[in-house]
Amino acid sequence: MNKITIIIFFLIGLSTTYAQDWQTDFSKAKEIASQENKPIILVFQGSDWCIPCMKLNKEVWNTNTFKEYAKEHYVMLQADFPRKKKNKLSKEQQNTNAKLFETYNKKGFFPLVVVLDKDGKVLGETGYKKTTPVSYIDELNAFIK
């Protein structure tokens, strides 16, 4: 029994080691970005209906390579627009995401990845590309320099 408990705690610890925190509140993201002097990576996605969004999640955001890098270099901000009832966001979160959409995604692209400075100024934007996490990081960093 003790071995199982130890293994479970080890796996939980391992899974959180690489986790980057996704913010959902723009003000909080800007506050963290200012404190830590990091850019904000704002991701507009439809997590349960947008196929390119799902691919970006799987191929970039959810990789250990990206998670480890992002934890040290970015403030990750998610604006999700799910359509399925089971994934429905609170009214407050829907309103927050709608305001971000009006400001930063006027053309309505999904996924849209917007690189912002710590004050919320747009430095660049991109979307889904079939690429490696390292290449995607390089593309994001090209907007920052």
- How confident is the model over 15-33, as pLDDT tens digits? 433 456 899 999 999 999 9
The proportion of the chain whose per-residue pLDDT surpasses 70, expressed as a percent, equals 86
Specify the CATH number of the domain 20-144. Answer: 3.40.30.10
pLDDT per residue over 86-126, tens digit each? 999 999 999 999 999 999 999 999 999 999 999 999 999 99
List of residues 6+ apart from 114 with CB closer than 8 A: 41, 42, 43, 44, 104, 105, 122, 124, 125
Write down the mean pLDDT value for the chain. Answer: 90
List of residues 6+ apart from 15 with CB closer than 8 A: none
The proportion of the chain whose per-residue pLDDT surpasses 90, expressed as a percent, equals 85
